[in-house]
């Protein structure tokens, strides 16, 4: 057996790989080759990857660490499809800032991963190309829209992957695949080079095997970017205090999160609360009344922003172009053939709510309700260190199981509030139901990502101990 094959028996995390390379028990080339071999061997049945370019990084802390990127992030010279026929042959002319930061720190890109088309979905079933399967049960979805990234990490193809989170698209697949999914505070990570879905909600973050790896990658992604005016200069050290205890912290559990909770998920979550209490953490139920409107608000604001952002795919400048007898026909035929059913549905909803007749009744009202949700959540943070709850209402559902759009949209019921309020949020494993994982979600005040990861790491240690 070769040295490389000997090192291919486990699925080490980022820090573990760094240590192996540092100790010369694994070379940088072997580490990357292991990942490429695993993709060739495993991906035919998982279908996590849309393409497998190899883009080498520079020298840095991540030298020799392979990673994957959701296929809605630009990487120069590679195809960026957004899992849509309209961008099936589009080649990126530049690289997204977040991806470039990872490359600059030495990591090697080995895959662009599958997703729900234009990040609109919660299962990866809405990819225009194929459905990614959950590595823990091939009959189930891996979640979405960053399902390919989660599946790539869960199956051991890569130790970490980048995803995007508009309403839970990092955290929900992390929950379904038994991983850690970290959505940073809005503004900490540049969105430049991320193909826009809903610009006031989108955020890039890592999917990893453990909390420390999420902190390590998250910190690399931070920084003000002149190419993204929503970014801020905020210096956070996520690993500095991550091992410190959380004694005397206070956590809030919204009644709205546990009111109609699945009995099995509720049982596991109650166990989580007991663990925190044994750590001398105070856990109390609170009421955040406006949370009941979060799904409705999201499915007005997000489609409205999407209808504006996706107007650029007109068949003229880039992407698919379908001939027509007039310019209007080119527009209509290109979009009809290029966009899938779910994308069309959301564009139509968004265009409707932004129309002059219905703007005040829907979009304006949704924005005012969003402000109310933000204010109520911030008020909770005046008295509590974190808001905790389940990440998802259930474990991963079976492929093809959900046929109703409303039932499908409710998969994001617990994750959406963090996007509406721009809060940091993380999902980490809290237990299993019938062998399938379910996640614990932790949210903290804006720019308290370091505190949130410290809480997550403390829970991770106790749950593993």
From 169, 175, 190, 290, the catalytic residue = 169
CA distance 103 to 108: 7
Q: Are 450 and 219 in contact (CB under 8 A)?
A: no
Residue 145 falls in the annotated catalytic set: yes
Residues linked to residue 372 through DSSP beta bridges, in sequence order: none
Question: Both tokens of residue 19?
Answer: 């240590």
Question: Is the bond preceding 101 in cis, omega lying within 30 degrees of 0?
Answer: no
CA distance 342 to 141: 17
Output 265-272 pairs: Cβ under 8 A, ≥24 positions apart.
Answer: 265/390, 265/392, 265/393, 265/394, 265/433, 265/438, 268/390, 268/430, 268/431, 268/433, 268/438, 269/389, 269/390, 269/430, 269/440, 271/430, 271/431, 272/388, 272/430, 272/431, 272/440, 272/459
Q: Are 380 and 387 in contact (CB under 8 A)?
A: yes
From 70, 101, 445, 451, the catalytic residue = 70
Residue 169 falls in the annotated catalytic set: yes
From 31, 84, 92, 145, the catalytic residue = 145
CB atoms within 10 A of CB 286: 17
CA distance 417 to 297: 10
Read off φ and ψ for residue 464, nearest 5 degrees: -85, -20
CA-based nearest residue to 53, from 86, 93, 80: 80
Name the CA radius of gyration of the chain, rounded: 21
Catalytic sites, residue numbers: 70, 145, 169
């Amino acid at each position: 057996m070769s040295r490389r094959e000997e090192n291919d028996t486990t699925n080490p995390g980022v820090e573990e790989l760094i240590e192996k390379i540092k100790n010369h028990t694994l070379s940088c080339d072997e580490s990357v080759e292991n990942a490429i071999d695993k993709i060739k061997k495993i991906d035919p049945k998982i279908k996590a990857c849309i393409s497998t370019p190899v883009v080498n990084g520079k020298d840095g802390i991540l030298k020799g660490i392979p990673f994957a990127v959701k296929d809605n992030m630009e990487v120069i010279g590679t195809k960026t499809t957004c899992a849509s026929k309209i961008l099936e042959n589009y080649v990126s002319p530049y690289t997204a800032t977040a991806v470039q930061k990872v490359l600059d720190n030495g990591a090697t890109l080995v895959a662009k991963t599958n997703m729900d088309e234009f990040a609109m979905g919660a299962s990866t079933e809405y990819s225009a190309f194929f459905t990614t399967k959950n590595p823990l049960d091939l009959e189930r979805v891996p979640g979405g829209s960053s399902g390919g990234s989660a599946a790539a990490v869960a199956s051991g193809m890569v130790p970490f992957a980048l995803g995007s989170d508009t309403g839970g698209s990092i955290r929900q697949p992390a929950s379904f695949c038994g991983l850690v999914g970290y959505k940073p505070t809005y503004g900490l990570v540049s969105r430049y080079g991320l193909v826009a879905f809903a610009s006031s909600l989108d955020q890039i973050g890592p999917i990893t095997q453990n909390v420390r790896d999420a902190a390590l990658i998250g910190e690399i992604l931070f920084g003000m970017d002149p190419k993204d005016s929503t970014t801020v200069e905020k210096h956070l050290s996520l690993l500095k205090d991550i091992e410190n205890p959380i004694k005397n912290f206070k956590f809030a559990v919204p009644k709205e999160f546990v009111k109609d909770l699945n009995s099995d998920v509720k049982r596991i979550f109650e166990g989580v609360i007991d663990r925190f209490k044994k750590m001398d953490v105070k856990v109390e139920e609170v009421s955040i009344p406006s949370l009941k409107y979060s799904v409705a608000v999201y499915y007005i604001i997000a489609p409205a922003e999407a209808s504006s952002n996706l107007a650029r795919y007109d068949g003229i400048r880039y992407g698919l172009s379908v001939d027509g007898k007039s310019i209007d026909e080119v527009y209509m035929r290109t979009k009809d053939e290029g966009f899938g059913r779910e994308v069309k549905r959301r564009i139509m909803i968004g265009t409707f709510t932004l129309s002059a007749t219905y703007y005040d009744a829907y979009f304006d009202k949704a924005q005012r309700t969003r402000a109310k949700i933000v204010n109520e959540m911030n008020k909770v943070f005046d008295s509590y260190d974190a808001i905790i709850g389940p990440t998802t209402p259930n474990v991963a559902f079976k492929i093809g199981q959900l046929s109703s759009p409303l039932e499908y949209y409710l998969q994001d019921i617990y994750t959406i509030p963090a996007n509406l309020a721009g809060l940091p949020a993380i999902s980490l494993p809290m237990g299993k139901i019938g062998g399938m994982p379910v996640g614990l979600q932790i949210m903290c005040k804006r720019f308290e990502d370091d505190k949130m990861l410290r809480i997550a790491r403390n829970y991770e240690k106790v749950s593993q101990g």
